[in-house]
Structure 1
Amino acid sequence: MRIDAHQHYWRYRAADFPWIDDEMAQLRQDFLPDDLTPLLASREFDGAITVQARQSLDETAQLLQWATSRGAADGVVGWVDITAADLARQLETLRHPRLRGFRHLVQDEPDPASWLRLPAVAAGMSTLQRQGYVWDMLVTWRHLPDLTAFAARHDEHWLVLDHLGKPDIARGATAWGEQVAELAAMPHVVCKLSGLVTEVPQGQWSAAQLNPFIEEALARFGPQRLMFGSDWPVCLLAAEYDEVSHLLEGTTNALSADEQAQIWGTTAASVYGLTGGESGSVFKR
């Protein structure tokens, strides 16, 4: 099974997407399942994980509807306020066979480190993990130490590091590898090979510049805890869909067939439970 483990849909309204600024004019339009389907087909993907782009229960419901319209190998990482006192009731309302996990835009919090330490966040995470929901982690390199401490406290189910933790490209792959080493050593943490092209200023990336980060991720996580994600349509700010997949192919072609299969879909299918059952157990790695 081949899975694009990170992409987005939206109907664009400026008020709903304040993070899309003047430098992102290309994203100020609708991006819907019919737009992605031919791109997935061109790369022989069986399905995709659609990830929330705004913190809204309405968006989560819409993403689930779109995922249902596509195929059995599609899942959703939505949003819910995990600090809410009635979280259990909200989860019951949201319950859906395509809902595989949740994400919060931690990077956009005024103080991400403090948010990760909130008692209400800890209580909410315990509830999510007990119910078998994956948690996608969105921070930048600045808060990887705080995220590492967070991950150590929440080890009952899968945690997924989005976009390699948005590394500081200028500092290089070795520095990033040292930053992420402790986090990567935790067996319940998985990393998405996604979002790199938009971390380079003005989108002026090159394969020679980004390949070392992919190689460092392979060394730290191993292919069994890595998954490809296009980050479409956000990737369009710096690269076309095919360019993003070609970037990863160029670095992983020397791996065994089984290792490549893990990165291109097996890991995502297991972690997000796209094989017909609940998401794969952390203890069956």
Structure 2
Amino acid sequence: MAVSSPHIAVREDWLALEQEEALFPGMPIVDPHHHLWDRPGHRHLFDELLADARQGHRIQATVFVQSRSMYNIDQADDLLKPVGEVEFANGVAARSASGLYGSFRACAGIVGSCDLMAGDRIEAVLDRMMGVGGGRFRGIRNQTAWHEDPEIATNPVPPVRGLLLKAAFRDGARRLGARGLTLDVWAYHTQLEEFEDLARACPDTTIILDHLGGPLGAGPYRGRREEVLADWRASMKRIAELPNVCVKLGGLAMGAGGFDFHLADRPPASDLLAAAWDPYISFAIERFGTQRCMFESNFPVDKGMVSYRSLWNAFKRLTKGFSASEKQDLFFSTAARVYNLGIKPEGEF
């Protein structure tokens, strides 16, 4: 069944109107959250990723995250179809590691998809993913960002309501922890109580909260930014007390965030982005600390509103007063450690 995309369309000609220079171009970066797919009307594969990575910032490595992409349709068992996505991402990683594209290492870590409700059958899926992952498979993400309002949609296929609270899902999350694998979770701010409960129930699993916990600004939350910010901060303050949780700083350029940069005549410059996002990013860093936070691109999803160059410039502006070690955590080391990439920064902070 064909499903229309909820993502904002990428307009390369519009993005090209903003040509600011990359700030601190020698700073090494791990981008711990991007997607790859080939869908009707939108192709974002290695060549497109490489073009973004070459916009002036020193992107040393990336982490591919579950995209519902390149599943193996010839696999009779539906549970095993997502193994194809891990195999595909590892092929992209192998291409990047050929040396033909410089020191850039795409998909140095791979986060796949496995139905965590599947009980004992999960083990065979994880075994297969580890087998085809070329030593790069690092964890799992399921589709969990749910909201009752149809205007709040960030997945082409609607997720299941209340998945984070289900005992079977938590059993699956614990199985990941037992193998030393991570769990990425995308949840809106309205689900953060469920997320907190999940994280408390799975203390031995490293859980990464994607996209700053999804503070909403669209649909019924439009015009209520201060109210949402207060609710989000209260939830994040509690979650920060859980040592098994890390946070990805980004994802605020999705339509659900309500910033609407894509409606302007020109794409946003990095100073505008930094000012708009500071209340969220600075609070998260303050509460979680730099060793549990990592900047992310969430490309190509966020690419509908911002260019890759301006996005990373905004993050660099937000950390202007930080120490070199703090910057290293946020732009490189937290991601490299959490996803066990086994790399060291090539450059200075």
- Which band: TM-score by shorter chain? 0.7 to 0.9
Q: Could you tell me which of 97, 112, 129 is aligned with 2:161? A: 112
Amino acid at match of 2:207: L
Give me the whole-angstrom Cα distance separating, in 2, the residues matched to 1:203 and 1:163.
17
Amino acid at match of 2:311: V
Which of 1 and 2 has greater Rg? Answer: 2
Q: Could you tell me which of 84, 87, 92 is aligned with 1:66? A: 92
84 and 175 in structure 1: CA distance in 2 versus 1, 3 angstrom threshold: closer
Q: Does the 8 A contact of 1:10 with 1:31 survive in 2?
A: yes
Amino acid at match of 1:231: N
Q: Does the 8 A contact of 2:249 with 2:293 survive in 1?
A: yes
Deviation at 1:273, TM superposition (A): 0.3
Q: Does the 8 A contact of 2:205 with 2:244 survive in 1?
A: yes
Q: Does the 8 A contact of 1:173 with 1:216 survive in 2?
A: no
Q: Does the 8 A contact of 1:6 with 1:194 survive in 2?
A: no
Deviation at 1:111, TM superposition (A): 5.0
Deviation at 1:110, TM superposition (A): 5.5
Q: Does the 8 A contact of 1:112 with 1:143 survive in 2?
A: no
Please state which structure has a larger fraction of its residues in helix: 1
Q: In the alignment, does 2:238 pair up with 1:182? A: yes
> Which residue number corresponds to residue 21 of structure 1?
none
Give me the whole-angstrom Cα distance separating, in 1, the residues matched to 2:174 and 2:159.
23
Q: Does the 8 A contact of 1:7 with 1:233 survive in 2?
A: yes
Identity %: 27
**Which sections of structure 2, spanning at least 5 residues, go unmatched?**
1-27, 72-81, 98-104, 147-157, 218-224, 263-267, 344-349
Q: In the alignment, does 2:166 pair up with 1:128? A: no
> Which residue number corresponds to residue 11 of structure 2?
none
101 and 110 in structure 1: CA distance in 2 versus 1, 3 angstrom threshold: closer
**Which sections of structure 1, spanning at least 5 residues, go unmatched?**
14-27, 277-285
Q: Does the 8 A contact of 2:165 with 2:197 survive in 1?
A: no
Amino acid at match of 1:79: S
> Which residue number corresponds to residue 211 of structure 1?
278
Q: In the alignment, does 2:92 pair up with 1:92? A: no
Q: Could you tell me which of 30, 48, 51 is aligned with 1:3? A: 30
110 and 269 in structure 1: CA distance in 2 versus 1, 3 angstrom threshold: closer
Amino acid at match of 1:70: S
Aligned pairs, how many?
261
> Which residue number corresponds to residue 309 of structure 2?
242
> Which residue number corresponds to residue 49 of structure 2?
36
Q: Does the 8 A contact of 1:68 with 1:98 survive in 2?
A: no
Q: Could you tell me which of 80, 102, 108 is aligned with 2:140? A: 102
Partner secondary structure for residue 37 of structure 2: coil
Which deviates more, 232-241 or 49-58? 49-58
Q: In the alignment, does 2:134 pair up with 1:78? A: no
